[in-house]
Structure formats: C-alpha cells, structure tokens
Structure 1
Amino acid sequence: MIFYFSGTGNTRWAAEKMAEATAERLFFIPNELPTSCHYELEVGERIGFCFPVHGWQPPHIVREFLKKITFSTPSSDIREHYCYVLITCGDSAGETIEMCNSDLAPKNISIDFAISLIMPESYVCLPFMYTDKPQREEEKIAQASKDLDTAINIVCSRKRTTFLVKKGPLPWTFSHVIGAYFNAKMITDKKFRVDPDMCISCGKCVKVCPTGDIRLAEGVPEWKHNDSCTNCLACYHHCPRHAINYGRITRKRGQYYFGHRTTTSGE
C-alpha cells in the first residue's frame, strides 16, 4: 500500500506511477487522517510513503499521520514488509528522511529505501523563492522521470539500504533549526488574500485544496483557519486569474502545478 500527500501535483504524479508499476493500493493521507488509520497488510505487501518536503521537513499533516498509523500483518514481524519513502522537493531535503524514520520507529518500522525527486519549485512566499523558468521546469521533470524509473525498479526488486536523497549542505541545521522555525511559525492560511475584482467564483481553489480548508462565501473563497493548511499553495497556483495571493509577496510571482503547460483542467 502507498500513502501519499500532494498539493500542486508533483508527488501525486510520482505516487500514481509507483502504484501503477507495483499494483499496490493508493491512499490519500488527508482522506485517511480522520479515520482510525489502521490497515491490514497482505502477505508480502510493501509500505510506501510519498510526500513533498516542506521547509526541509515532512509536512505536518504527514507527521501527524505517521504517528497515528498502525498495521495488522499476517507476519509475526512487520519488519518483513518492505518500506520505502519517496519525497519531492525543489532542491534539497535536509534530514526529512531521518525525521520520517524517527516517526516510524515506535511502529517498529524502518525505511529500506528512500529517494528524493527534484521537481519544479512551487513555494513562492519568501523574497528569494520563485517558480522555475520553463526550460528549468522541463529539465527537472525530465530528470525526475528518470529518477522515478530508478525508484520503481528498486522498489519492485525490494533492494534494501539504498538511499538516493539529496540532503544538501548543513542538513541538520536546515531541518531542525530553520525548518523547525518555518513549520512552527510560517505555516498558516491567515495571509491568503483574494482580489474580488479578479475572482470569477470558479471554485477551483476549493476543489484543489488537499485539506478542505477553503469554502466559497458569496462566491468568494475564504479560508477556515482550522490549522489544517499546509501552505502547499495549490489554491494560489491553480487560480486561473491569479486572484489569490499570499500577502503582497506573490502578486508578481509565477504559478505552477504539475501538468499546467499541457492541461487547463487542473487537478
């Protein structure tokens, strides 16, 4: 079984490709979190986790799920079930895998394989963060496709102790200091704003929000402020009129979601 979280579609693309290749069940974490999060494994079934990196850490919704999840297994030892993690990021992952491993350790689960796919950048809420230019975006997706094929081959053959993760410089500092501050203080939906003159009340933002944090009020999106937001920016990137912004900083920033150059249907 494969558990995944995705906002702008990078991880969903990878998770769906992995599920197709392994013929294993696919579960969307936001849909699973309100349930008991207990799962019955079949004989020899793999356990896969796919998610984007947020601030050099797993997204808070993923960490919450990892801490809640439990399994029943026909085997006497859950460690006999192959476990892998696939993460997507715009550049480096820091110690995301180590943090994931720490969350899984109380379940007696250890990661056998991990890989990071470098995907087009989608976080644009800081002064130095921009979407990639079209050529760079294409280059990243092309390389990620090759890396995903490698990951699929490794998972299908159940190779262990293989880690293909770009941690970047000072990974502990980025994950446990900068990332800790980012995820504790900067993940909020309170800065989202809507230009009512630009909004066409299409409701796409409501549809693509992975946590259901948006509703339409008299045709205009509003955020529920229920602490479910992950700042994935799916609402911002999918808005066909660029009517949604995160404060002032994103007003002249680009938009991206996986497949946006080949489809207008969104996610």
Structure 2
Amino acid sequence: MIFYFSGTGNTRWAAEEIAQATGEQLLFIPEELKGKCDYMLKDDERLGFIFPTHGWQPPRIVRQFISRLKLHNATGHYCYALTTCGDSIGQTMEMLNDDLLKAGLPTAISVFTLVMPESYVCLPFMYTDTPEKEYAKISRAKEQLQSFKEIIIKRQAGETHTVKGIAPWAMSHIVGNYFNGRMVTDKKFTVDAEECIHCGKCENACPTGDVKLVDGLPSWQHDGSCTCCLACYHHCPRHAINYGSITRKRGQYYFGHK
C-alpha cells in the first residue's frame, strides 16, 4: 500500500513507477482524507509514503493524514518513504518518522530523496530551473529511482539515500516552521481576468479542490485546503494566475509539460 501526495507531478511520477514495480495499491492522500483513513494491510504488503518536501518538512496535508491514519495488521511490515525536492530536504524524514511514531504507526526503515525540477517560485531567490538543468535532474532521478525500486522490492532495511543540505535542523525547524506556518495559504493568489481563457486547467490541476471556476474565472476557497503546491499557477496556459506580484516574471513547470 502506497500513500502519496503530488502537486505538479514530480511525486506522482515516482509513486506510479514504484507502484508498478511492486504491484501494490496507490492511494492519493487528498482523496483518502475524504474518508475514514482506516486500512487493513495484507500479510506480505509493503507500506510506502511518497510526497514532495514543502519548506524542508513533510507537507501539512501529509502530516494531517498521518494523524488520522489507522492501520490494521501493520506489525512487522516493511515501511519506506520517498520525498522529492528541488534542492534538499533538511530533516524531513526525521519529522515524518516522528509523526508516524506519535500516531502509533510503523516508521520508515529506508528513506529516499529524488531531486527533481524546481516548482516553488514564491520567494525572491527561487526560480524554475533552466531547460538544461531540468533535463539533467529528471535524467538523474530516473537512474536513481531504478536503484530505489530494487531496494524497495527486496525490502532492504537501513537504506538512507537522502539529500539533507546545509544546516538541516535549522532549515526544517526554523525556516520550515515559519514557511509551513505562515506561507502555506491561498490568500495571495490572483488572476488576470483579461488573460484568463476560462479553460479550467487550474481547477483540474488542483489536488485538493481548492480552485473553483466562478463565472469562468478561478476562485480560491480560503478554507485551509490549499497546500501552496502552485499546480494552478504552473498549469495555466496564459500565465494568468499569480501568487502576489513575485511570480509575474517567473517560469512555469509541471512534470511532462513539454
């Protein structure tokens, strides 16, 4: 059983690859949160958590899901976690395992990082990657994922293949706490009405259903469901959606966009 979350598609690609390799069920966390989050594991089933790193932490929606998750027949099952990121993850995996432990769930005994093209562009120093860097990251990730799949299939324990970056504790517990506490919001999204072509791609791309078309224009619900994944922004064919004013001259990216 694999629980995953993805916004712009990097993580969805990795999750689908692993699900195909292991033959195990793939469950999308936003959809699962609509239900009871109560599951029975098969005797020989692996347990996987696959998600992007948000501000050097597990995404808030993933942590919310874990707090509600109930697993039956979970003792002794092989548990692993994989996170995608644009650069580094800090102590994301340590935080994930703390959350799992607090919830009385199996912790990840093998953990992995895939560095993928950058999609977060809402800070002054953050941009999408150049086409050359994007290609290089995806090519490298494909190679790494092949070896990660072999480790997962064989249920190898104690495997740590992560990219923590500089000052991992500070990035996760200081910068990350501020980012996830203050900057994960839909209140700064705007739409340039004269550019919008009413195609609905933003609504379809939103993983949590936070974007709805109202009179043909995207409207954000302000109900706390936004993960700030920027899927709406990146999928807009006219660059009509922006986050404040900072993204007006930034690039767009989603997996498989070319």
Question: What TM-score bracket applies, with the shorter chain setting the length?
Answer: over 0.9
SS in 1 for 2:175: helix
* 1:4-57 per-position Cα deviation (integer Å, ceiling 9, x unaligned): 000000000000000000000000000001211010100110000000000000
Cα distance in 2 between the residues matched to 1:91 and 1:150: 20
Cα distance in 2 between the residues matched to 1:66 and 1:183: 17
Query: 1:83 offset after TM fit, Å?
Result: 0.3
Cα distance in 1 between the residues matched to 2:158 and 2:33: 29
Cα distance in 2 between the residues matched to 1:215 and 1:108: 35
Give the count of matched residue pairs.
Answer: 257
- Structure-to-structure mapping, 1:47-62, within 5 angstroms: 47-62=47-62
* 1:44-91 per-position Cα deviation (integer Å, ceiling 9, x unaligned): 100000000000000000000011111111xxxx34100000100000
Aligned to 1:96, which of 68, 89, 92? 92
- Structure-to-structure mapping, 1:118-137, within 5 angstroms: 118-137=115-134
- Structure-to-structure mapping, 1:196-235, within 5 angstroms: 196-235=193-232
SS in 1 for 2:84: strand
1:185 partnered with 2:174: no
In structure 1, the partner of 2:247 is 250
Query: 1:108 offset after TM fit, Å?
Result: 4.0
What amino acid maps onto 1:48 in structure 2?
Answer: G
CA RMSD of aligned residues (A): 0.7
8 Å CA contact 1:79, 1:110 repeated in 2: no
- Structure-to-structure mapping, 1:52-201, within 5 angstroms: 52-73=52-73, 78-106=74-102, 107-201=104-198
Cα distance in 2 between the residues matched to 1:130 and 1:110: 34
Cα distance in 2 between the residues matched to 1:240 and 1:172: 38
SS in 2 for 1:211: coil
8 Å CA contact 2:3, 2:27 repeated in 1: yes
What amino acid maps onto 2:38 in structure 1?
Answer: H
In the TM superposition, structure 1's runs of 4+ consecutive aligned residues that sit over 2 Å from their partners are none
What amino acid maps onto 1:118 in structure 2?
Answer: V
8 Å CA contact 1:85, 1:114 repeated in 2: yes
- Structure 1, unaligned runs of 5 or more: 262-267
What amino acid maps onto 2:241 in structure 1?
Answer: I
Cα distance in 2 between the residues matched to 1:260 and 1:45: 34
8 Å CA contact 1:4, 1:27 repeated in 2: yes
Cα distance in 1 between the residues matched to 2:93 and 2:116: 17
8 Å CA contact 1:245, 1:251 repeated in 2: yes
1:12 partnered with 2:12: yes
SS in 1 for 2:24: coil
Structure 2 length normalisation: TM-score?
A: 0.99
8 Å CA contact 1:44, 1:80 repeated in 2: no
SS in 2 for 1:80: coil
Cα distance in 2 between the residues matched to 1:141 and 1:98: 25
SS in 2 for 1:16: helix
Between 1:139-148 and 1:99-108, the stretch displaced more is 99-108
